[in-house]
Structure 1
Amino acid sequence: MIELEIQTLSERREGLLIELGRAVVTSGFTLQRQRFTHDANGVLLTMIVRGPARKQRELEAALDANERIISFNASTFEEGAPKPHFAASRMMAAQAVVPAPAPTIDVVPVVATVAAKAKAAAPVAVVIGAEAPESFDAPVVSAEPDAQPEPEPEPEFIFVLPRTPSPAPAAVAITPFVELIPEGPDEEAVVKVLPKLENEYPLIFQRLQTLERSVPEAARESSLWLAGQRTGVWVFERDYAPGAKLGLREAIEHIGMPALRALVEVEHKGEQLHIRNSPLCIEGGQSSCKFFSGYLEGLLGAAVGSDSLSVFAVCCRSCGADECVLAISD
């Protein structure tokens, strides 16, 4: 027969001893005595049981299977002072700290000593007609230690939170510049629109804008020039009978200016013509001065009698100028 000391840790005390006592008896042991203790960790139970040594493992298995037992410890019982419970909370005893003795400061009566020395060293004077001073006030010397400067305050640490970086701006797609290679006029489109220009003259700008949109971009200016040249020849044959050849300046004054004024507002300055508010040349758009160049070449070519007549744009309203300026040379 052996005697075992069983220590258990549980959450609640109610019915615990009855339940564990039943497990002890079933395993072939008898309960000798027990002790309950309430602890910060839970309910601590210590049992002294007695039974056959061969049944110890069976008893430990029964205790291990019990759901109310958090943990347990079984060891051979020894007479004497009770063992500390394995699950008891440990408290560290605080050691008493003996305060250090205050330093002793020897205070020397400086005032009395100084006063005595001053009194002994003072000469005796006889004053006629006046009373001598009864006492001599010596300077008072304080025995208190000098005041210590206050410690500087510790610097404060300022924590700066990093700012969330702003999102990067969206990439802007850049359209590459493609230089167009000029092509010849779209004669089919020009021939198709000429009858409409003759029927609606001088209100022809809407037809010319339609022509611009209907031809390839590379053939736009050449098609406008051809439409202007054919229209200028038609106006000269209709309004001005062939006669004697004129000089360039006379042809501009008597033929070119009247014909252009039927279409736009124009001013003649030397060898240049200034066209204001051209309906074909819109600010920020594309230059369409090629129509007026072809128009004047077709209109003035027969009057001047020169195949080398040239009309070209000096500046254009669509490129930011105030007006379109055409230069004429032969």
Structure 2
Amino acid sequence: MVTIELKVVSEQRNGLLLALGEVLLANQFKLLRHRRANTDRNVVMVLVVQGPEARLLPLEEQLGTHWMVRSFEAAPYEPGVSTSPQTLAEVVASIDPAHADALPASSAPTAAPAAPAAQSAAPDPARVEVLLPQLARDYPRVFGLVLGFERSLEPAQRATTMRYIGTRVGAWVYKRDFALGAALDLSRSIRHVALPAMRQLLPTEPDGDALTTGGSPFCVVAGHSVTAQCHFLCGFLEGLLNESGRLPRVRVSETACRAGGAAGCRFVFDA
């Protein structure tokens, strides 16, 4: 058994602890305690966790590709040092110094989080883990499975779950097809990694430093949705670009979607 400390940075405040708890549980780790601090732009969470050493690398891989995690560090736990309020403030200041003075920090010893309620927006790791080998077997002809899975989800779970699945698939595709390539900046990564990988799935064209497709199968009710629907594709692109570890953390946003009446779905990249 190992006891480690995780420092997690996220832009997502709602459901973060629950989502991290699900990753811990899936890897047989338990949450011993946590501290949290907020800035205007980020959440910083320090977690002390304990579990089998053999599951440490899978845990770190899943945290590194999780759509809610912007960045994280893992280190051996040093009692009474890293989780002190002063050190937590220093961690926040190093990430967001402009907002380090007035940080409402909370601390609470806790057991592993309870299972999510039926309407929780967090992904269901057990169901996702069953799906992933089937997607790997059928890749790149995955949309039938993915769309069927999406329709089986509660509405509140669809965005987070589909983005999470896309992230896992994208990370797998990067390891399979692009891991031996040269180190590229973001613009060239979009051209030489994201674009060819997307073209394995559906017709896609470059649009400056964005990508556009008119063939997304997730836009089933064109003109009747005010929100973007291609959560799987956003996650897929994030998984592709973040898996290398060579770029600042990349976040993908869908700025136009055929479900809202646009001519095509447009994906932009921010690091």
TM-score w.r.t. length of structure 1: 0.43
Q: Show structure 1 runs of 4+ deviating over 6 A.
A: none
Q: CA deviation at 1:241?
A: 2.8
What does residue 126 of structure 2 align with? 188
2:134 and 2:224 map into 1 onto residues whose CA distance is 25
What does residue 221 of structure 1 align with? 159
**Cα deviations by residue, 1:229-260 (Å, 9 ceiling, x for unpaired):** 00001111111234542101111111111110
What does residue 249 of structure 2 align with? 308
What does residue 270 of structure 2 align with? 329
2:185 and 2:247 map into 1 onto residues whose CA distance is 10
CA contact (8 A) 2:166 2:239 kept: yes
Worse-superposed segment, 301-310 or 219-228: 301-310
**Cα deviations by residue, 1:23-69 (Å, 9 ceiling, x for unpaired):** xxxxxxxxxxxxxxxxxxxxxxxxxxxxxxxxxxxxxxxxxxxxxxx
SS state of the match for residue 268, structure 2?
strand
Is 1:257 aligned to 2:257, yes or no? no
- Among 217, 222, 229, the residue aligned to 1:288: 229
CA contact (8 A) 2:223 2:261 kept: yes
Distance 1:243 1:263, change over 3 A: closer
CA contact (8 A) 1:245 1:304 kept: no
Q: Tell me which structure has the larger Cα radius of gyration.
A: 1
Give percent identity, aligned residues only.
35
Per chain length, whose mean CA-contact separation is higher, i.e. which structure has more relative contact order (CA < 8 Å, sep 6+)?
A: 2
Give the unaligned 5+ runs of structure 2.
1-118
CA contact (8 A) 1:275 1:325 kept: yes
What does residue 319 of structure 1 align with? 260
Give the unaligned 5+ runs of structure 1.
1-180
SS state of the match for residue 262, structure 1?
helix
The amino acid across from 2:255 in the alignment is V
1:313 and 1:182 map into 2 onto residues whose CA distance is 23
Alignment of 1:103-118 (within 5 A): none
Alignment of 1:127-138 (within 5 A): none
2:266 and 2:132 map into 1 onto residues whose CA distance is 26
Distance 1:279 1:195, change over 3 A: same
The amino acid across from 2:263 in the alignment is D
The amino acid across from 1:270 in the alignment is G
CA contact (8 A) 1:233 1:298 kept: yes
Is 1:247 aligned to 2:188, yes or no? no
What does residue 112 of structure 1 align with? none
Distance 1:262 1:285, change over 3 A: farther
1:257 and 1:230 map into 2 onto residues whose CA distance is 17
Higher normalized helix content (fraction of residues): 2
The amino acid across from 2:172 in the alignment is W
2:200 and 2:130 map into 1 onto residues whose CA distance is 23
RMSD over aligned Cα, in angstroms? 1.9
Count of residues paired in the alignment: 150
TM-score w.r.t. length of structure 2: 0.52
